[in-house]
A = this chain, B = another copy of it.
């Protein structure tokens, strides 16, 4: 598959990033978005150059397409997305179980915005989302929740994504590290 799969656009919007403590977790969210089939990452509020640069470096080395935006208003982005005909999936431990709703979400051809919060998410997002989806009802990690949701959305097909550009590729190996230069 190509990033975005049959939906064309699958973007991940990260809310509430605090540069002093979330740098690494937010970078993981962005890299998971890319590796599991999204085609863009949007950072609400701040423009944390550390995060943006880390992700762009990965895209340059390992390929894309994968876009990174930052400093947007989360509310405005969600409204725009819906006005443009896309649907909004908010990941929260309080939502409806992913294994029950992912097949329904996957069956809809609309562009998808996946919203991933940090500690505290405003009520607005629960109300504006087409789907509030939980990956388990235990506290764990937005990084894991995003990976699992995209895995279910794309039915595991993310492993066959064909990235274009970049110059590195890993070859499977039982006991070592095999990295090849592309092309």
Q: Pick the contact of A140 from B25, B28, B99 — CB < 8 Å?
A: B28
Select the stretch in A67-75, A79-87, A109-117, A142-150 that faces chain B.
A142-150
Residues of B within 8 A of A21 (CB): 24
Of the candidates B143, B147, B176, which one forms a contact with A94 in the assembled complex, judged by CB atoms under 8 Å apart?
Answer: B176
Check B126–A175 contact: CB distance below 8 A.
Answer: yes
Contact residue range for chain A? Answer: 35 or more
Most B C-beta atoms less than 10 A away, residue of A127, A143, A146, A159: A143
Shortest Cβ gap from A78 to chain B (Å): 15
In the complex, which residues of chain B have a beta carbon less than 8 angstroms from the beta carbon of A92? Answer: 177
| Nearest CB on B from A180, distance (A) | 11
Query: Does A183 reach chain B (CB closer than 8 Å)?
Result: no
Give chain B residues whose Cβ lies under 8 Å from the Cβ of A28.
25, 140-141, 143-144
